[in-house]
Structure 1
Amino acid sequence: MAELQKDFLFILIKSLTTSEKRQFKLFVNRLGINVDAKFLLLFSEMDKMKEYDENIVIEKKISTKQQLSNLKAHLYKQILVSLRMNPSHQNYRIQLREQLDFANILYQKGLYKQALKILDKTKQTALELDEKSIASEIIDLEKVIESQFITRSIEGRADELIRQSKAISKQNQYTTDLSNLSLKLYSEMLTHGYVKNDEDRQKILEIFNTQIRNIKPVKLNFTEKLWYYKAHVWKNQLFQDYKYTLKYAYLWVDLFHQNPEMIFSHPVWYIKGNTYLLKILFLYGNIDVLEKHFKNFNDTVSSQNFAQNENLQSLIFLTYSNTLMNIHFIKGEFFTGTKLIPEIELKMEKLRDKIDEHHFMILYLKMAAMLFGSKKYRESIHYSMKIIESKGNVQEDLLFHTRILILMSKHESGNDEDYDEFIKATLKFALKMKKPEAFHFESIDFFKNLNNLVLSKRQEAFEAFDQKLELFSKNEYYRRSLLYIDIHGWVKSKVQHVDVIEIIKQKVKYKRK
């Protein structure tokens, strides 16, 4: 994730493009500020640094230690003001708020008719873009003006504003309830992971039903429908109910395709919707459908009309990289997939301050799994250890399955130098998990016993564990556990005496005309 111990101002300066730095200096000069102004000197010095060092700033007498905090705050604000004026960062929300600011200025000068004219035009645009929060602010200002200045511009003006205010208030309530629900479910997923028993399931159902029971989908506009579909996606993800996750992920993405103008108004949620859709299609293993939607996604986000900024580029990178590796996984194209790793790592390094730690670890796990499939066990362990040694907040399930992948790699490579110690460490980790399950301990026992068996007995151990995994796969609460790392596919390959790639190819589903 973005390294919070780093200086925020330094990170902001390092994120600036060459053109943004040039614009900032022009902006400062336009203000008539002396070129030797301290905050400009601070900007130039920090721009030269590879790592932020406060001592350099003080040694060069740009600022005293006592004044530095205020100077940095002033520079931070001036950079943001400059960026706000940059055309590349302009979007309809900034433009709507700018018009609202203009109307406020005109109102304060007593130019009521001019203010109302701007407000009416801006309100119509806000309603067309389903930006009801801004529309609500506009109506509030219209009420203030109308209560002080009788314009007589429209007959029944008061009744019209009251009607609009009530309608938007109702829609905003829907949005608030649904967005709160979606956020709560998303928080449950990140904090506690997927439901592991009936008690967990009942808890999520109570959270969901309390908020959703009063919502009538037919009355929802674009934004409310978007939150409605998100809530259903996250609920079904928690339940590991992929049939309904797929259904609502489709509805989420299709909502944008039915309202194409919203793709460019809400690009983040368009990307996120596709992220979930492509992930669920991967879990279903239907390669034709996955590749079709992947192409549609790439065509859209690379089009000229699609907004381009650092945040969107990092989200697109995550969706693109994860999906591309998933496609290679489905096809069993491990050797081809490993060729993607250097390019993905290079991009990861560039986006290190914009991507959270968890998403980095997901990419590392996929790299490790890809290398395992390519029989590059040493490299697989190397990438797996990046996850184990991470200091970030990584999900327990991901950490456990990374350990399983390491044990698989150690077994295949014959590298049992610290095998027993690693088994003990994995057991210790499982015991500290919030909700360890039978699957975790059965897996540990399997690897623990496997290393102590003579070669003639190992086949029997694989066959016995294969039967246990079959039982786990039929239990809806263990389903997710078997998807992180395809331990079941690996075990089956040992039972059937074939390469694991052959097992994976057996699972691929094609839909041909």
Structure 2
Amino acid sequence: MTTKDQKDNLFSLVKSLTKSEKRQFKLYVGRLGVNSDSKFLKLFNLLDKAKGYNENAILKTGIVKKTQLANVKAHLYKQVLISLKLNPSHQNVRSQIREQLDFASILYHKGLYKQSLKILDKAKYLAIVNEEKNMAFEIVELEKIIESQYITRSISNRADELAVQARDLSAQNVIASKLSNLSLQLYSIILKTGYVKNEKESLIVTKYFNDRLPKFNLKEVGFREKLWLYKAHLWYSFLMQDFLNCYKYASKWVDLFYQNPSMINLNPVFFLKGNNYLLESIYFIRNKTKFVKKLDHFKTTVGDQKFNKDENVSTLVFLYTNFHSINQHFIDGSFEEGLKLIPHIENELISFSDRIDQHHKMVFYYKFASMHFGVGNNKACIAYLDKIISNKSLSMREDLLCFSRVLNLVAHYEAGLDYHLETLLRSTYKFLIKMNDLHEVQKEMIKFIRGLQDIYPHDLKNAFRDLLNTLKTFEDHPFERRAFLYLDIISWLESKIENKPVGQIIQNKYLAKYAP
């Protein structure tokens, strides 16, 4: 990697600044009484104009010597962060509470106990109302310290009151901590091993979940504890491929925010993620009417001017609105219509390239590939899959890598690229065996494609029928059905038997099931 291509934390921070944040930084530096010729300000202006980070180019300007560069960069980094902290757009209830806590600590150390307690009382009210219970506990602990030195006539009542508050907050913080740990651990299992694949794994995960789920009365806890409870249940349901319960707990999660609207702007990331899982679970249960209704509600909420968007939130809004705008076309097989979304999303992906990780890009590519496959554009499908399969630096969900390769095999077969099949079969087998993650559906598919070369053309339809009958037995299997969500093999086989496009088969099924 050349010096020019290196990612530098300071450079990334400077480049992330908006015009108003840069203006604020220069005003802040001016207030410090810093000379406009100071090294860190010159370095800021240089990085602001630079296209990439290049240490040699910085040293050639003579702004700073090599021995000084690390210190000047560290100083600039700190000053940019302080300036951002002072920017109104980065101030929320949490920063207000922390600021009040800092002021109270200063007053306490100056011996101004009464003033300190007054500020702490207001900050504590703000923390409790906004479900910032860790900070509320910290405030109560400081109140206890001050009260022990600032003797008042009501000390006995006050001591009892603070002790009860500390106990209650501590108990709720312990519940929240246990639930957030469980939620994170379940999410980690999904990332590492994907969804449960058999009865044995199902029993292990269920025991793991039940052993770590804290017992408490739901009526006695607040927003934060409920949120972590619903999250933990959601991850457990996803692991078990229990999509109805996924829908149930994702609905509870999102409804919790609509019941407490002030929490939407205070916790926008959790609000967005809840909506993402809600839409994902409705997609899994294939209810397009409900899906479109929830997607429209979500788009309206995040499109409202009152909804605060920083860079992180804007990225998530882009990801979730586009993922689900695509997903709605998979529910009813309207792939031709869905293809129109691809050029716009690809352009947007370029502008978000610094903020979207490789995994999410590859999920988009898989969706694009599947959509092209649905209308019979097999070569376009293969081109998108190649971006995933050839990405050697990728650490992403095993099931996605797995199905990319299986779809790649099917698309090569469909495109008539038979001369590639032998090599592809070998590399796919090697890959899947190394992963130790073969669903029965994948095993049957590979066995079938491997045997295709020995089948006479006039026997093909019977071979497709045999495979269809085999796979149908897995369609409602609790540990196998997810395979069909990644790749609708059954509709593909029916399309081969009936000589109709895959999209038409999926549309016909959807209409037969849901049309009024």
- Give the secondary-structure state (helix, strand or coil) at the position aligned to 2:197: coil
Structure 2 CA distance, aligned partners of 1:312 and 1:152? 50
Q: Which deviates the most, 129-138 or 89-98? A: 89-98
Amino acid at match of 1:335: E
Alignment check: 8 A CA contact 1:288 1:511 kept: no
Match of 2:243 in 1: 242
Deviation at 1:484? Answer: 0.8
1:113/1:151 contact within 8 Å kept: no
Partner of 1:77: 78
Q: Structure 2 vs 1, CA of residues 512 and 153 (structure 1 numbering), >3 Å: closer, same or farther? A: farther
Which of 474, 483, 493 aligns to 2:495? It is 493
> Which is worse superposed, 55-64 or 286-295?
55-64
- For the Cα contact (< 8 Å) 1:107–1:145, is it kept in 2? yes
**CA offset digits 1:253-302 (Å, max 9, x no partner):** 11112222222221111111111110111111111111111111111112
Q: Quick one: structure 1 residues 512 and 485, their matched pair in 2 at CA, closer, same or farther if it must change by over 3 Å?
A: closer
Aligned residues: 510
Distance in 2, Cα, partners of 1:503 & 1:497 = 10
Q: Is the contact made by 1:194 and 1:239 (CA closer than 8 Å) also made in structure 2?
A: yes
Residue number among 502, 505, 508 corresponding to 2:507 in the alignment? 505
CA contact (8 A) 2:282 2:291 kept: yes
The corresponding residue for 1:125 is: 126
Structure 2 counterpart of 1:15: 16
Between 263-272 and 154-163, the greater mean CA deviation after superposition: 154-163
1:196-224 deviation per Cα after TM superposition (whole angstroms, max 9, x unaligned): 11221122112211122523333321111
Q: Quote the Cα distance in structure 1 between the aligned partners of 2:310 and 2:214.
A: 38
Bigger RCO of structures 1 and 2 (CA < 8 A, at least 6 apart) = 1
2:306 aligns to what SS in structure 1? Answer: coil
Deviates more, 1:124-133 or 1:488-497: 488-497
Distance 2:398 2:239 in 1: 15
Q: Residues 43-442 of structure 1: matches in 2 within 5 Å?
A: 43-152=44-153, 156-212=157-213, 214-390=215-391, 391-442=393-444
1:460 aligns with 2:462: yes
1:332 CA drift (Å):
2.0
Task: Specify whether residues 134 and 507 from structure 1 end up closer, same or farther in structure 2 by C-alpha distance, changes over 3 A only.
Answer: farther
Following superposition, the deviation at residue 508 of structure 1 comes to 2.6
Q: CA deviation at 1:236?
A: 0.7
Please tell me whether the aligned partners of residues 367 and 380 of structure 1 are also in contact (alpha carbons under 8 angstroms).
yes
1:131-157, Cα deviation, whole Å (9 max, x unpaired): 100101111111111111124478721
Match of 1:479 among 472, 475, 481: 481
Gaps of 5+ in 1: none
What is the TM-score of this pair, normalised by structure 1? 0.95
Give the conservation status (yes or no) of the 8 Å contact 2:432–2:438. yes
Q: Is the 8 A contact 2:334 2:507 kept in 1?
A: no
Distance 2:415 2:56 in 1: 49
**Mapped partners of 1:487, 1:51: distance in 2:** 46
Look up the equivalent residue of 2:122 and give its one-letter code.
K
Structure 2 length-normalised TM: 0.94
> Against the structure 1 CA distance between its residues 26 and 409, is the aligned structure 2 distance closer, same or farther, given a 3 Å change threshold?
same
Where does the alignment leave 5 or more consecutive residues of structure 2 unmatched? none
C-alpha distance in 2 between matches for 1:430 and 1:5: 34
Q: 1:434 to 1:97 in 2, by over 3 A?
A: farther
Alpha carbons of structure 1 residues 163 and 80: separation in structure 2 relative to 1, 3 Å: same
Q: Secondary structure at the match of 2:446?
A: helix
8 Å Cα contact 1:380/1:409 also seen in 2: yes
For 2:66 and 2:204, locate their aligned partners in 1 and report how far apart those are by CA, in whole Å. Answer: 52
For 2:146, what is the secondary structure of its paired residue?
Answer: helix
Whether the 8 Å contact between 2:244 and 2:285 is mirrored in structure 1 is no
Relative distance call for 1:439 and 1:65 in structure 2 (3 A) is: farther
Q: Quote the offset at 1:312 in angstroms.
A: 0.8
